[in-house]
């Protein structure tokens, strides 16, 4: 199966590459299929590319590379929805927003990580309702503080 | 939108299995209790709306010809 992307041109995919977001993601409730593409070989960044809309892609990053204290818990319902039985099945990413012309002030949304079951290829953006995190945390500052921007 | 007026101690039922309890009112603050099945997610709307707004910004920002290739080297 081929998908068209604005960034990478046409990509050949197999069904196994597709991650299913049953509920879409907040703001994009009709987007149920994505693929994860590396930004480049050595990069900590990745693209979450819509398998349906060629222009729609999000930059994500492994949060633990930038925020060493980052942690969150999944509740029973969330574990069930993603069919997670052990932490080995889980990959977590956070969405990155890059202000125009100012790459160094890019921010990560730590209050809503994207959690993926790497075996079943299910994904979900989880809202950490009770956490101290916010939607904008600078990647390039010393530690995770509860003073994010909102 | 349905608007109702309730007093503390009164409840509102939504469908068959969601109950909103008006617990207490103190000045500007209304304390609500919500009973709902575990499958129904409950969020403060400003948090959910902030996430929607941030996702929309994130989806737009990845369109820029952003060069992230030097990022790790700077870290």
Contact residues on chain B for A45, CB-CB shorter than 8 A:
68, 71
Could you say which of B44, B59, B61 has the minimum Cβ distance to residue A56?
B59
B57's CB contacts (< 8 A; 6+ apart) are: A97
List the one residue out of B9, B75, B50 whose CA is nearest residue A148.
Answer: B50
User: Is pTM beyond 0.90 here?
Assistant: no
pLDDT digits (tens, 9 = 90+) for A31-83: 999 999 888 878 899 999 999 888 899 999 999 999 999 999 998 899 999 99
ipTM of the complex: 0.86
Is there a contact between A106 and A139 (Cβ–Cβ < 8 Å)? yes
């Amino acid at each position: 199966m081929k998908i068209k992307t604005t960034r990478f041109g046409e990509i050949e995919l197999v069904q196994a590459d597709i991650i299913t977001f049953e509920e879409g993601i907040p703001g994009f409730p009709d987007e149920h299929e994505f693929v994860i593409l590396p930004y480049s070989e050595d990069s900590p960044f990745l693209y979450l590319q819509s398998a349906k809309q060629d222009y729609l892609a999000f930059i994500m990053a492994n949060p633990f590379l930038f925020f060493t204290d980052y942690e969150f818990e999944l509740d029973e319902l969330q574990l069930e929805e993603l069919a997670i039985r052990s932490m080995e099945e889980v990959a977590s990413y956070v969405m990155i927003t890059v202000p125009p012309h100012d790459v160094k002030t890019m921010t990560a949304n730590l209050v809503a990580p994207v959690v993926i079951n790497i075996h079943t290829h299910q994904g979900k953006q989880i809202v950490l309702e009770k956490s101290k995190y916010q939607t904008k945390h600078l990647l390039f500052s010393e530690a995770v503080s509860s003073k994010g921007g909102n | 939108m349905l608007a109702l007026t309730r007093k503390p101690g009164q409840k509102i039922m939504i469908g068959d299995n969601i109950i909103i309890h008006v617990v207490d009112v103190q000045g500007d603050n209304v304390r609500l209790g919500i009973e709902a099945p575990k499958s129904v997610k409950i969020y403060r709307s400003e948090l959910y709306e902030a996430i929607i707004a941030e996702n929309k910004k994130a989806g737009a920002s990845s369109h820029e010809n952003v060069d992230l290739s030097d990022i790790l080297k700077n870290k």
